Amino acid sequence: LPVNIIEAMYCELPVVAKECRGMSDLIKDKKNGFLIKRNLEKEFTDTIEKIYLNKIDTVKIKNENKKDSKKYLLDNILKEYIKIYEKSRR
């Protein structure tokens, strides 16, 4: 997963990303960011401009990002690794 996107989410930034593996795992379009289909550069730049000009309400998106990013904090990841390790030992 792209760590820079997780960091942006944790900082409550609205994320605009191309729709591809990794990004699609983290960003749910219009829920916690914006996924732009490939080869739609105009849509990509238009979305960034709308965010910059406050034409898109990003309060809900920022809150979702903070909440969603917490599952990737070190403590949570370690718990998952421990579960996997313990399961493999059985």
| Higher-pLDDT residue of 1, 34 | 34
The CA distances from residue 42 to 21, 46, 52, 66, 76, in Å, are: 21, 6, 15, 28, 38
Q: What predicted TM-score, i.e. pTM, was given to this entire model?
A: 0.81
Residue-wise pLDDT tens digits, 24-73: 999 999 999 999 998 899 999 999 999 999 999 899 999 999 999 999 99
Q: What is the pLDDT of residue 90?
A: 78
Which of 57, 16, 61 is closest to 37 using CA atoms? 16
Q: What is the pLDDT of residue 45?
A: 96
Q: What is the pLDDT of residue 38?
A: 87
**For 51, phi and psi rounded to 5 degrees?**
-65, -45
Q: Supply 3's token pair.
A: 């760590």
